[in-house]
C-alpha cells in the first residue's frame, strides 16, 4: 500500500516531468486518426513530435504504466497510474502510443504467455517497435467467433496455417498478427481452438484492404496460404485458445468503449458555442439542440465515472468479465450520439466531402466510421445478450 504522502510526492514528480518533457504540440486535441501514433517498423507521423513523445514516455515505461518493469512497463500501482492519467489530462497530453499490442495482446501475454514470449514481445510493444493486428473474425462466422475455419496443422516443428480472416484492422501496417486457429475438429466448436502469433512477413501471408462507405478504412482481409508458424509461437495450451480469446475480448471491448470518451479536448457545449453562437440570454437558442447537448454531456460524465470504477475493480483483481459488455455497448452508442450531434452543430459544412475548407471530409468520414463501432468487437445485440444472461441472470 502506497501512503498518501508518497502518492502526493509522486504527483509532484509526474507534474514536473510532464511539464519538462511533453512537447507543446502533443498538448493539442486529437483531430483525426492520423493524430494517433501506432508505432511499428514502418511508422507514420502527422507530426515529428509524435515519435519523440512516445520515446520519452517509453523510457519511463509510461506507455504501459501498470505493466511489470522487467518487461519495460512502468510498474506503477493503480493509484499511481490514476495520478499519471490525471496529470496528463490536466495539460491535455495525448496518449503517446496506441496499439492493439498495448490494449489487447499485452494483457493476454501477461496472463497466458510463457517467459520467452513475454521477454520477446512485451518490451517491443512498450517501445512501439512492432505493431500488432487481430486475427479473430472470419467470413461466414460473423460474431460467432468459435465457428472459425482457419486451420493449423501440426507438422512436427511447426504449424501449417491455411485460411482467411476478415475485418483485420491495420493488417496492412502490422508486423505481427495474433490469431485464433482450429487445431482439432473432434470436439464442440469452442474446443480445439488455439492461439497463435504469426509474423506478417511470413511467406504465404497476404493482405487486401477493404474500402468502406466513408471512402477510407483501416479494415483488411488477411489470407494464409501454407504459412509455416514455429511451434514456440503457440500461446497457452494447444486446443485451449478459447479461454485466451474470451480474456482478450474483455480488453478489446473496453478499448472500443473508450470511443465514447471525448478526445478532442472540447466539450460539445464549447463546439456548439463556437459553431452556432449563443442567444441574448447566453444559451443556445435552439431548445431541442440545447437539451440534446446537455443530456449527452451528462451521459458522457456518467460513463467516464463508470469506466473509472470498472478499471479500479479490474486492477483490484476482480477482472472485467461481463462488465466489458456493458461499457462496450454504452461507449459505442454514446460515440454514435456524439457524432450525430457534431454533424448537427456543423450544419451543411459537415457534409462537405472534398475541398480546402473541409479537411478532406474528416467530419463525415468520422461520423460514418462510428456506425462500425456497434458492430466490431461483437455487435450491440451480442453485448446485450451477454448482459442479460451473465449480469441480470435472465433465461436464454
Catalytic residue numbers, as ranges:
252
Q: How far is CA 184 from CA 180, 246, 327, in A?
A: 12, 19, 34
Helices 268-276, 287-313: inter-axial angle, 10-degree rounding:
150
Terminal-to-terminal C-alpha distance of the chain? 43
For 316, phi then psi, to 5°, come to: -80, 5
Contacts of 237 (CB under 8 A, 6+ apart): none
C-alpha cell at 214: 466513408
Among candidates 331, 326, 330, which has minimal Cα distance to 390? Answer: 326
117 phi-psi bin (left φ>0, alpha ψ -120 to 50, beta other): alpha
Contacts of 157 (CB under 8 A, 6+ apart): 230, 231
For 354, phi then psi, to 5°, come to: -140, 155
Would you say 40 and 276 are in contact if contact means Cβ atoms under 8 Å apart?
no
Which pairs count as long-range contacts for 108-114, CB under 8 Å and 24+ apart, including other chains? Answer: 108/178, 108/195, 108/235, 108/244, 108/247, 108/248, 108/251, 109/235, 110/67, 110/68, 110/71, 111/244, 111/247, 112/195, 112/235, 112/236, 112/243, 112/244, 112/247, 113/235, 113/236
Task: Using the structure block, give the residue that is written with the C-alpha cell 454514435.
Answer: 336
Q: Among the residues of the chain, which ranges form H helices? A: 4-21, 49-60, 78-90, 100, 106-112, 115-126, 241-257, 268-276, 287-313, 323-346, 362-369, 380-386
User: In sequence order, what are the beta bridge partners of 208?
Assistant: 221
Per-residue DSSP letters for 29-63?
---SGGGS---SSS---SSTHHHHHHHHHHHHTTT
Amino acid at each position: 500500500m502506497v501512503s498518501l504522502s508518497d502518492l502526493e510526492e509522486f504527483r509532484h514528480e509526474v507534474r514536473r516531468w510532464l511539464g519538462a518533457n511533453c512537447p507543446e504540440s502533443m498538448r493539442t486535441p486529437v483531430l483525426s486518426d492520423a493524430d494517433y501514433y501506432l508505432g511499428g517498423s514502418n511508422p507514420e507521423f502527422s507530426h515529428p513530435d509524435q515519435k519523440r513523445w512516445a520515446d520519452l514516455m517509453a523510457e519511463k515505461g509510461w506507455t504501459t504504466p501498470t505493466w511489470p518493469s522487467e518487461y519495460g512497463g512502468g510498474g506503477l500501482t493503480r493509484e499511481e497510474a490514476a495520478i499519471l492519467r490525471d496529470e496528463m489530462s490536466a495539460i491535455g497530453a495525448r496518449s503517446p502510443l496506441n496499439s492493439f499490442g498495448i490494449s489487447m495482446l499485452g494483457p493476454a501475454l501477461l496472463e497466458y504467455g510463457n517467459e520467452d514470449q513475454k521477454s520477446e514481445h512485451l518490451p517491443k510493444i512498450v517501445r512501439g517497435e512492432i505493431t500488432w493486428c487481430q486475427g479473430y473474425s472470419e467470413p461466414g462466422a460473423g460474431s460467432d467467433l468459435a465457428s472459425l475455419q482457419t486451420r493449423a496443422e501440426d507438422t512436427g516443428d511447426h504449424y501449417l496455417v491455411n485460411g482467411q480472416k476478415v475485418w483485420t484492422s491495420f493488417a496492412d501496417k502490422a508486423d505481427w498478427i495474433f490469431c485464433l486457429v482450429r487445431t482439432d475438429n473432434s470436439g464442440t466448436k469452442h474446443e480445439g481452438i488455439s492461439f497463435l502469433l504469426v509474423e506478417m512477413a511470413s511467406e504465404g501471408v497476404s493482405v487486401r484492404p477493404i474500402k468502406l462507405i466513408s471512402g477510407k478504412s483501416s479494415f483488411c482481409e488477411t489470407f494464409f496460404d501454407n504459412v509455416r508458424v514455429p511451434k514456440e509461437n503457440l500461446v497457452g495450451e494447444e486446443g485451449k485458445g478459447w479461454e485466451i480469446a474470451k480474456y482478450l475480448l474483455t480488453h478489446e471491448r473496453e478499448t472500443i468503449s473508450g470511443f465514447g470518451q471525448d478526445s478532442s479536448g472540447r466539450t460539445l457545449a464549447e463546439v456548439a458555442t463556437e459553431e452556432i453562437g449563443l442567444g441574448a440570454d447566453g444559451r443556445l437558442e435552439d431548445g431541442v439542440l440545447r437539451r440534446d447537448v446537455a443530456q449527452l454531456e451528462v451521459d458522457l460524465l456518467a460513463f467516464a465515472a463508470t469506466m473509472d470504477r470498472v478499471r479500479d475493480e479490474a486492477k483490484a483483481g476482480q477482472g472485467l468479465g461481463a462488465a466489458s459488455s456493458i461499457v462496450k455497448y454504452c461507449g459505442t452508442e454514446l460515440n454514435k450520439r456524439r457524432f450525430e450531434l457534431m454533424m448537427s452543430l456543423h450544419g451543411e459544412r459537415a457534409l462537405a466531402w472534398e475541398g480546402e475548407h473541409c479537411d478532406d471530409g474528416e467530419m463525415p468520414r468520422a461520423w460514418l466510421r462510428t456506425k462500425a463501432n456497434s458492430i466490431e468487437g461483437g455487435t450491440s445485440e451480442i453485448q446485450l445478450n451477454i448482459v442479460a444472461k451473465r449480469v441480470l441472470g435472465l433465461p436464454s
